Chain A
Amino acid sequence: MSFKKIVQAVASATLALASNFTAAQENQLNMARGVTELGSEIYDLHMLILWICVVIGLVVFGVMFYSIIFHRKSKGYKPANFHESTKVEIAWTVVPFLILIGMAVPATSTLLEVYNSDDAEIDILVTGYQWKWKYEYLDEDGENISFFSNLSTPQSEIYNTQEKNPNYLLEVDEPVVIPVNTKVRFLLTANDVIHSWWMPELGVKKDAIPGFINEAWTIVPQEGVYRGQCTELCGAYHGFMPVVVHAVSQAEYDEWLSAKRADAEAQVAMASMDLSLDDLMSKGESIYSGQCVACHGANGEGGVGKPIAGSAIVLGDLTKHLGVTTKGVPGTAMQAFGSQLSDVDIAAVVTYQRNAFGNNTGDIVQPSDVVSYKNG
Chain B
Amino acid sequence: MTDLSEQPSDTDSAGMSTAPKDVDGPVGLGVVGWLRWAWRTLTSMRTALVLLFLLALASVPGSLLPQRGTDPIKVTQYLADDPTKGRIFDKLGLFDVFAAPWFAAIYLLLFVSLVGCVIPRAVTHWRVLRSRPPRAPRNLGRLPEHRVVDAPGDPAAVLEAARSHLRSRLWRVDVTSYDGSTGSLAAEKGYARETGNLLFHVALIGILAGVALGALTGFKGTVIVREGSSFADTRAQFDAFAPGRFHSDDALPPFSFTLDRFTAGYQRGGQQNGAAREFAADVTLVRSPGDAPERTTVEVNDPLEIDGVKVFLVGHGYAPTFTVKNAKGEVVFQDSVVFLPQDGYFTSTGVVKVPDTVPQLGLQGVFLPSAVVDDQGARSVFPAADDPAVFLTAWTGDLGLDSGRPQSVYTLETSAMKQVGVKGLRPGQSWALPDGTTVSLDGYVQWASFSVARDPGKELALVAGIVAMSGLALSLLVRRRRVWVRVSALDAGVTVVEVAGLARSEHATVADEVDALAAALGTVRTDRTTGSPPAPGAEATAAPRGAP
A and B pair up: no
